[in-house]
Amino acid sequence: MAPQYGPRRARIAFSDSAAKQLENLTSEAEIHALDRALVVVSVDPDIGDPIPGDAAGPQLREYADEVERVRLLYWVTALRTVVVVAYLEV
């Protein structure tokens, strides 16, 4: 019997500005909140709402987790890599 695997998760990458934000995370609660949001987006990259913009650049999306009070701004590449642009606490 062949093993049953779930859907493939998207790979997560961070822009330079998002990486700098990560360096400033100090509390375990902040890290947990970010991890939770990243898991959700990696499982379903289309979950976020599109942010209106021009067609010249990537289509930015926004995912907000009201429970953890986190918001991610990101875009998805053609190979389904999620590039996080910013991490915000609401």
In this predicted structure, the answer to whether residue 5 has a pLDDT above a threshold of 70 is: no
pTM recorded for the entire structure:
0.81
Q: Which residue has the tokens 């961070």?
A: 14
Q: Which two tokens stand for residue 2?
A: 């062949």
Relative to beta strand 49-50, strand 70-76 is unpaired
Helices (H), the chain: 16-23, 28-43
Mean pLDDT of the chain: 85
pLDDT attached to residue 74: 92
